C-alpha cells in the first residue's frame, strides 16, 4: 500500500470575510494520482496552492512525509519546493519565448544555479522524451491547443519533480482533446512515477486516470477514496454532485457512463434465479506503436469514438454497453452463456468488418487498431469487480479496424 506523502490536517483559510477552507483533512499517497473534485468556486485551486506553498493557511498543519511544514527551516522548505512542479490552467506559456525557452525557464529559476550547457542538455532530453524535438524553435502561437498542453507538461517535468500539480488541465477542450490530455497525464505519471494531484470538474472522465478521489464541499473534504468507492458512497451531497455533473451519455463515445453500467449490472443480477447466468465482455482498444506521440494521443481518442459508433450499429436490442475507462467498453449480454457470448463477439466483429461496404479497411496510410475482448460469466454470487477481473485476464484479439 502506498504511504502518505502529503497530509493536510484541519487547514483553514479565509480571505477577509470569505471563508474558503473550513478544516481540510486530506491525505495524498506517494506515486498515485489523486483528483480533487467539487463545485466551481468551491476552493479547489486555493487548496492546490496551499499544497505547493503559494498560499499560507490561517490554521492547521501540512505534513510532508510525516514532517510538519511549520517546523522546517527555510532551507528545507526551499529544497521541498524544488520537488514540486505545477501545470497551470490554459498552459500559461509565454508567447514571447520559443518552446525551448519556455521549457528551460524552470531550470533557470532553480535555486541551484545550473550551467547553461546542462540546461540545454536537459531541455533537449525533455523534448525528445515527449516527442517534441521538431518544435523547439517554434512559438506558442504556432502550436495547436493539444501541442501547447504537451509543451506545458514538458515544462512541468523538466525539473524531474516528485510531485506535479495540475489545475483544471482540460478546461475549454473538446471531448477528443480532453480525453487525449487525460491519457497523456496518465501515460507520463506511469512512466515517471511522480505523485500527481489534479483539480478537475470533468466527471466521470477524471475517474478513469485517478487512483483516489477527494471531494471538496463547503470548505471540507467530505469524501476520500477510489473511483469505485465514490459511486458507493452513502453521502447524499457526494451522490447529488456526481449525478448532477455526470451526463446520461459519455461525450466521446455516446455510450452510457461507467456508473450507469454498474447500476445495470446490479439490476441484471437482481433478476437472476440461482441457476441463471449472463455474460460480461470487456473490450479494450489497443494502440499501434507510434513514433510520434502527437499522433498517438489524438488518434487513440478518435479510434475510441470511431469504434463505439460502429459497434452501436450492430448490437442486439437486449445488449447493454457503457464506457468503462480511457480505452475500455463494458458489454453485458443478458440470458447468454460463455459459448453464446463468444459467438456473439465473432458475429459482431464480422458485422463491423462488413460495414466497410467492401472498401479495404486496412489502408496503408493510417494506423490499424486492435480491439481485445475478454468474456466472463456473471451470477448472483459474483461481484462486478470479480467478473471484470476474470474478463480482463482472458482478453484476446476481437477485431481490427483502421482510422479514416
- Please give the average pLDDT of every successive group of 10 residues along the chain, which has 404 residues: 86 92 96 94 91 90 91 87 85 90 86 80 86 86 84 89 92 84 90 94 91 96 94 91 85 91 89 80 83 71 90 90 94 92 91 64 60 92 91 89 65
Looking at the structure, give the CATH architecture of the domain made up of residues 258-402.
2-Layer Sandwich (3.30)
pLDDT of 366 reads 59
**What is the number of other CB atoms lying within 10 angstroms of the CB of residue 309?**
12
pLDDT of 35 reads 97
pLDDT of 150 reads 84
pLDDT of 245 reads 83
Interhelix angle 145-157/293-312, nearest 10 degrees:
130
pLDDT of 294 reads 60
- The boundaries of every CATH 3.30.70.270 domain in the chain are 258-402
Cell numbers given for 20: 474558503
For cell 445495470, name the residue: 264
CATH of 4-245, one of 3.40.1190.20, 3.30.410.10, 3.40.50.300, 3.40.1800.10: 3.40.50.300
Please state the pTM of the whole predicted model: 0.86
Query: Can you tell me the distance from the alpha carbon of 400 to that of 247, in angstroms, rounded to the nearest whole number?
Result: 30
pLDDT of 358 reads 43
- The boundaries of every CATH 3.40.50.300 domain in the chain are 4-245
Q: Which of 354-361's residues contact partners 24+ apart within 8 Å by CB, and which partners?
A: 355/310, 355/313, 355/314, 361/400, 361/401, 361/402
Amino acid at each position: 500500500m502506498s504511504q502518505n506523502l502529503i497530509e493536510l490536517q484541519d487547514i483553514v483559510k479565509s480571505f477577509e470575510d470569505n471563508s474558503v477552507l473550513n478544516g481540510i483533512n486530506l491525505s495524498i499517497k506517494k506515486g498515485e494520482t489523486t483528483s480533487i473534485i467539487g463545485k466551481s468556486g468551491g476552493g479547489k485551486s486555493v487548496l492546490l496552492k496551499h499544497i505547493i506553498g503559494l498560499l499560507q493557511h490561517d490554521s492547521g498543519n501540512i505534513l510532508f512525509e510525516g514532517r510538519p511544514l511549520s517546523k522546517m527551516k527555510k532551507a528545507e522548505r526551499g529544497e521541498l519546493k524544488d520537488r514540486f512542479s505545477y501545470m497551470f490552467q490554459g498552459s500559461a506559456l509565454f508567447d514571447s519565448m520559443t518552446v525551448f525557452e519556455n521549457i528551460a525557464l524552470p531550470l533557470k529559476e532553480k535555486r541551484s544555479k545550473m550551467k547553461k550547457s546542462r540546461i540545454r542538455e536537459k531541455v533537449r532530453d525533455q523534448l525528445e522524451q515527449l516527442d517534441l524535438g521538431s518544435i523547439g524553435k517554434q512559438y506558442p502561437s504556432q502550436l495547436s491547443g493539444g501541442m501547447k498542453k504537451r509543451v506545458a507538461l514538458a515544462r512541468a517535468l523538466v525539473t524531474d519533480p516528485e510531485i506535479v500539480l495540475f489545475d483544471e488541465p482540460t478546461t475549454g477542450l473538446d471531448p477528443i482533446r480532453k480525453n487525449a490530455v487525460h491519457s497523456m497525464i496518465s501515460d507520463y505519471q506511469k512512466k515517471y512515477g511522480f505523485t500527481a494531484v489534479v483539480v478537475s470538474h470533468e466527471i466521470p472522465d477524471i475517474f478513469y486516470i485517478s487512483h483516489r478521489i477527494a471531494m471538496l464541499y463547503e470548505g471540507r473534504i467530505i469524501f476520500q477514496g477510489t473511483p469505485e468507492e465514490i459511486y458507493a458512497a452513502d453521502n447524499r451531497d457526494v451522490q447529488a454532485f456526481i449525478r448532477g455533473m455526470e451526463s446520461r451519455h459519455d461525450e466521446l463515445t455516446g455510450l452510457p457512463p461507467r456508473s450507469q453500467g454498474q447500476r445495470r449490472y446490479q439490476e441484471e443480477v437482481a433478476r437472476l434465479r440461482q441457476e441463471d447466468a449472463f455474460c460480461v465482455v470487456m473490450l479494450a482498444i489497443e494502440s499501434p506503436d507510434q513514433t510520434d506521440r502527437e499522433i498517438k494521443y489524438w488518434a487513440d481518442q478518435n479510434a475510441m469514438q470511431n469504434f463505439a459508433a460502429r459497434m452501436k450499429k450492430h448490437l442486439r436490442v437486449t445488449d447493454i454497453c457503457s464506457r468503462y475507462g480511457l480505452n475500455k467498453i463494458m458489454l453485458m449480454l443478458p440470458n447468454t452463456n460463455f459459448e453464446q457470448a463468444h459467438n456473439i463477439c465473432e458475429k459482431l466483429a464480422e458485422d463491423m468488418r462488413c460495414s466497410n461496404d467492401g472498401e479495404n479497411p486496412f489502408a496503408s496510410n493510417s494506423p490499424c487498431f486492435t480491439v481485445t475482448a475478454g468474456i466472463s460469466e456473471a451470477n448472483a454470487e459474483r461481484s462486478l469487480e470479480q467478473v471484470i477481473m476474470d474478463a480482463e485476464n482472458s482478453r484476446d484479439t476481437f477485431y481490427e479496424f483502421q482510422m479514416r
